[in-house]
Amino acid sequence: MESSAEFKKLLSACQEAKDRAYCPYSNFRVGCALITERGEMFTGCNVENASYGLTICAERTVITKAVSEGHRKFKAIAVGTDIPDSFAGPCGACRQFILEFGECEIFFVKPDLTYMKFPFEQLLPMGFGPKTLDTNQNS
């Protein structure tokens, strides 16, 4: 994955998606890009609201875009911010959203396109996912 042209596109796409962030309240731009198992790319950004709690993070935007277009399996997701000297991970709600669709590679990306790969297993330890529901004896 990391040596592919597709991966380089993913890194730049998440940073470019920041340009479309709607964040007049926080001024904290986040861009996201994902590649589906069939190689399609989707991008998303954070979309804030005057009723602050309604804000949608970039990760949830991009996953919702992909799923609503019929894609549920993802190879990789990349999250880009404007922070130059450290990596920012997804918020708790977005970790839950990523977990829903199963194993995928996760990358945090700086403006200069340097990145860190984040282990999927560390996304949400003991997370509550679709498999947890399957274990319910009452269902």
Catalytic positions, written as ranges: 59
- Measured from the CB of residue 118, what is the shortest distance to ligand THU in angstroms? 12
Span 5-44, contacts to ligand THU by CB under 6 A: 23, 26, 28, 30
Tokens at 54, concatenated: 């309604």
Mark out the alpha helices in 18-121 (DSSP H runs). 58-68, 92-100
Q: Which of 35, 58, 98, 123 binds ligand THU (CB under 6 A)?
A: 58
- Residue 134 Cα to chain centre, angstroms: 25
Q: Which stretch binds ligand THU (CB under 6 A): 35-43, 50-58, 66-74, 119-127?
A: 50-58
Per-residue binder mask for ligand THU (CB under 6 A), 80-99, x = binder:
----------xx--x-----
- Residue 2 Cα to chain centre, angstroms: 17
- Measured from the CB of residue 29, what is the shortest distance to ligand THU in angstroms? 8
| Residues paired with residue 48 on neighbouring β-strands, in sequence order | none
Q: How far apart are CA 110 and CA 84, in angstroms?
A: 6
Which residue, 98, 78, 102, is CA-closest to 88?
A: 78
* End-to-end CA, the chain: 39
Total site size for ligand THU, rule CB under 6 A: 13
Task: Please give the residue ranges that form the binding site for ligand THU (CB under 6 A).
Answer: 23, 26, 28, 30, 46, 48, 55, 57-59, 90-91, 94
